[in-house]
Amino acid sequence: MSRPWTAGSITLRSPAALTCAIFRRVLNYLVRICVVGWLALVAVAGAAPTPMADLTPILAAQPAQFGRLLATPETYRLQVLISEVITNAIGQPDLQRYGYRVDAEYIYPASSIKLGAAVTSLQTIEQLQAAHHSADLLAVPLTIAPLFPGDPAQTNDPGNLDGGHITLAHELRKLALISDNDAFNRLFDLVGHEHLNDNLHALGLDSVVINHRLSESRAVPGGQASASVTFYPSGEPPIVVPERHSTLNLTNRAARLAVGRGFMSNGKVVNEPMNFAHGNGISLMDLQSLLIKLVRPDIDLGTPPLQLAPDHRAWLLRAMTEYPRESTNPVYSATEYPDDYCKFLLPGIRRVFPATAPGERIQITAKIGQAYGFSIENSYVYNPANGRAVFVTAVIYTNTREILNSDQYEYETVAAPFYADLGELVARRWLGAPPP
């Protein structure tokens, strides 16, 4: 063992010991550099994504509510994605996700796809405003030229109590409050088939396929055409969006695109599955991601953010959060359009949180869909009492006859109870419900 050797009052170490001491100092210095560098990278790029947890045990723990569906989930095309808003290790908002059969097969999005047209229409008028140096076009009167032979131009909306004009603001409220199909079709004309899909793909939502209008059985002349739209800003020249013809040829790539064993056509059953290869489509994950980009732009999903003017974003979110009976323009009957008309989770949430007054009730910002036996929920659920929030996106297919386009689906007997039970589960587990 080497001993220190001395020269006067100064103690010196052997060359070997000195070398070890220098090495340790250099190593500690390098470690500190690596740690500082790693923290800098984390601060720039964000914390590592939290892995998705398996939702199956949580659902299976309630067999009375979910047991029958979990026994044959393929029959119901059942998929559930729940994303709790949390704060990550570096203090940023993040998501803890729980999934059950997420994106296992094709789902027909029905009216939930309208959210894509809503955000794209707002981005479109912002682009028009910049190009024409115009004031805000949100509430400006507009007209839509005829698309089908023999149709008149669309020039007014009697349901708009503010002058009876067609405006983007009014169409967005109708779309959000009662899922109006005509409103979606008008937005489709405004943004156009090609721009609508390209815009959503640019957000990283690669699964999006929006090929057709809703509740419109007529074939569009000239393929994927969009009618001319003209805005009439006060004191300014009209702003014309010309008729467009899309060249996009989009096909769904999800599994199980053939649905059912037959479908109705001209009053008769066609005994073959309905093929949704060219129907509207979006994955469950992308559907929720679109809502997250709109509602919580502070959450980084690792894909391009949704750029919207703050007042436009707030306008759309208010419409998606209100109940139909609360709207003063347009006006809707609470009997015809109850609070849960576009909020499938609401009945179950109210079992736990019965408050209905604004500011006290659980806040649900949603865009649902229902068609061809598919019922889709896509919502942001927020508890103002404690700040807890969660995104819930789910689909269930209820069609025991397996005949599509028949309007004979188990929406009320299977889909509605499922969503009520799911809403109660979300309220109790993720929204901070008081102990029973």
**Model pLDDT for residues 360-373, shown as the tens digit of each residue:** 999 999 999 999 99
Burial string for 86-97 (b: 16+ CB within 10 Å, else e) reads eebeeeeebbbb
- Average pLDDT (293-316) is 98
Instruction: State the amino acid at position 331 in one-letter form.
Output: V
Q: Which burial class, exposed, middle or buried, applies to 63 when counting CB atoms under 10 A from its CB (0-12, 13-18, 19+)? A: exposed
Give residue 32's pLDDT. 54
- Average pLDDT (237-263) is 97
Confidence of residue 49 (pLDDT cuts 50, 70, 90): low
Give residue 310's pLDDT. 98
Instruction: State the amino acid at position 103 in one-letter form.
Output: D
Confidence of residue 206 (pLDDT cuts 50, 70, 90): very high
Q: Which burial class, exposed, middle or buried, applies to 190 when counting CB atoms under 10 A from its CB (0-12, 13-18, 19+)? A: buried
Residues 6 or more apart from 125 whose CB is under 8 A from it?
136, 137, 138, 168, 231
Does 6 map to a domain? no
Indicate which CATH number applies to the domain containing 209: 3.40.710.10
| Cα–Cα distance for residue pair 171/160, rounded to 1 Å | 9
Does 317 map to a domain? yes
- Average pLDDT (124-153) is 96
Whether the bond between 330 and the residue before it is cis, its omega within 30 degrees of 0, is yes
Backbone dihedral angles phi then psi of residue 110, each to the nearest 5 degrees: 50, -135
| 84 DSSP β-pair partners | 96, 390
Domain of 64?
Answer: 53-430
Give residue 44's pLDDT. 45
Q: What is the mean pLDDT of the chain?
A: 91
Tell me the pLDDT tens digit for each residue of 172-194: 999 999 999 999 999 999 999 99
Q: Which burial class, exposed, middle or buried, applies to 52 when counting CB atoms under 10 A from its CB (0-12, 13-18, 19+)? A: middle
Give residue 40's pLDDT. 44
Does 2 map to a domain? no
Give residue 41's pLDDT. 43
- Alpha-carbon Rg of the chain, whole angstroms? 27
Short-list 130, 83, 128, 127, CA closest to 102: 83
Range in 3-12, 40-49, 213-222, 289-298 the model is least confident about: 3-12
Does 40 map to a domain? no
pLDDT at 145 over 70: yes
Whether the CB-CB separation of 240 and 230 falls below 8 Å is answered with yes
- Average pLDDT (279-292) is 98
Does 42 map to a domain? no
Whether the CB-CB separation of 143 and 285 falls below 8 Å is answered with no
Residues 6 or more apart from 255 whose CB is under 8 A from it?
104, 105, 106
Strands 374-382 and 389-397: antiparallel
Confidence of residue 217 (pLDDT cuts 50, 70, 90): confident
Range in 32-36, 73-77, 218-222 the model is least confident about: 32-36
Backbone dihedral angles phi then psi of residue 63, each to the nearest 5 degrees: -65, -30
Confidence of residue 433 (pLDDT cuts 50, 70, 90): confident
Residues 6 or more apart from 182 whose CB is under 8 A from it?
174, 215
pLDDT at 13 over 50: no
- Percent of the chain having pLDDT more than 70? 88
Confidence of residue 196 (pLDDT cuts 50, 70, 90): very high
pLDDT at 35 over 70: no
Counting the structural domains of the chain, the total is 1
Does 367 map to a domain? yes
Question: Sheet containing 142-144: which strands, arranged edge to edge?
Answer: 142-144, 229-231, 239-241
Confidence of residue 402 (pLDDT cuts 50, 70, 90): very high
Give residue 224's pLDDT. 87
pTM of the model: 0.89
Confidence of residue 219 (pLDDT cuts 50, 70, 90): confident
Confidence of residue 12 (pLDDT cuts 50, 70, 90): very low
Does 264 map to a domain? yes
Give residue 221's pLDDT. 74
Does 277 map to a domain? yes
Whether the CB-CB separation of 285 and 81 falls below 8 Å is answered with yes
Whether the CB-CB separation of 144 and 227 falls below 8 Å is answered with yes
Range in 23-37, 73-87, 222-236 the model is least confident about: 23-37
- Average pLDDT (412-436) is 94
pLDDT at 199 over 50: yes
